[in-house]
Amino acid sequence: MNVLIVCHAGSSLGLGHLTRSIVVARALHDELGANVQLLIQGEPVQRLDLKHYCHKFIELGENLIDAVGERTIQINARLVVLDLHPNLVPENIERLLIALRKAKCNVVAVDGLVNQRDNLDLIFIPSFCLSPLEAMVNATPILFGWDCFLLNVKCLPVNWIPGRQVLALTGGSDATGLGNSFPERLNESLPVDAELHWVTGPYAKQPVLPVSPRIAMVNHQSPSGLDDLMVAAHYAITVYGVSFFELLYYGVPTVVFSPYGSKDDAELTAIAAEGVALVARDEYDAVNKLKELMANDVLAVSLSQCARKRLSESGGHKFVQTVSALMA
């Protein structure tokens, strides 16, 4: 089976769509033996896990509809998976979807295109909750739940033990510029024996690190993966996104916040109610909550155990199972 996966990536878009697409590609290849190709609209990025699959980057200004149509024909794709940034969905996407299905090609959307559900075979939502509008009964199946997160995890979780290593994640592009002031705030506030591991994403600017830090600080420049850093971390502080759920999978006691206004309020409210992480109002509140967490081993154990129970597996297998049934 030939499969085309289409997604976005870039300095203003982050890496979430691309990361999920690689998880889908790996699952389809490993479990179904599918021949997978990726079409990525955005700025090129070097990733070791991307080298395993035939892929092509096209510029943001190029016509995505034409590019998808041409590539689908070239490889005779029987399945097209679309993981598109909501702000970059082409206006004439409906024309493409109708043409693909007319050509007997199954079309699956990941985390979007709900308004095009009549022209899709499946909508796969990597989330544990849906809005009332999205949850409406319709002929097109919509799949969501804690077992639907498309996590790019490669290691096994370990039981949490106390320590001083803190992992800080601001996203692949650090879109809101947290690197300008956040390292200094953490340096001033964390216990003096803390060890801060800051990750600079491939699209992010260099962080402004203190000249003479009072705590140990390490800047990891565009690491090929975060698994080893997550497994080694005793605590994490992160913006809300794909990597947050990978931290939950590994059972890392985590403080999460959204620097994007009220966009993620509903999800973060639900996260807080689940007891899998500490939810902060902003980066200032996040630092205070991290200090409290590092002083409370009972709370850290509780967060770790709850998180691991909720996210006991990646959603790649669930995606393959559902697609297999769809195409049977």
Per-residue pLDDT at 36: 97
230 shares a domain with 291: yes
- Can you spell out the DSSP letters for 279-308? E-SSHHHHHHHHHHHHT-HHHHHHHHHHHH
pTM of the model: 0.85
Domain that holds residue 282: 165-310
Residues 6+ apart with CB under 8 A from 43: 9, 10, 11, 57, 203
The answer as to whether 158 is a domain residue is: no
How far lies 221's CA from each of 22, 175, 225, 283, in Å? 21, 16, 11, 22
H or E stretch at 3 = strand 2-9
319 shares a domain with 193: no
Percent of the chain with pLDDT over 90: 79
What is the total count of domains within the chain?
2
123 shares a domain with 182: no
Give the C-alpha separation, 14 to 267, whole Å: 19
Write the pLDDT tens digit of every residue in 102-134.
999 999 999 989 889 899 999 999 988 775 444
The answer as to whether 27 is a domain residue is: yes
The answer as to whether 176 is a domain residue is: yes
47, pLDDT greater than 90:
no
Length of the chain: 328
19 shares a domain with 139: yes
240 shares a domain with 115: no
Per-residue pLDDT at 139: 63
How far lies 114's CA from each of 119, 123, 124, 142, in Å? 10, 7, 10, 9
Per-residue pLDDT at 133: 46
The answer as to whether 261 is a domain residue is: yes
Write the pLDDT tens digit of every residue in 263-287.
889 899 999 999 999 999 999 999 9
227 shares a domain with 143: no
Write the pLDDT tens digit of every residue in 226-258.
999 999 999 999 999 989 999 999 999 999 999
Quick one: average pLDDT of 314-325?
A: 90
Which carries the bigger pLDDT value, residue 315 or residue 38? 38
Per-residue pLDDT at 131: 58
Q: Phi and psi (nearest 5°) for 9?
A: -160, 150
Quick one: average pLDDT of 47-76?
A: 93
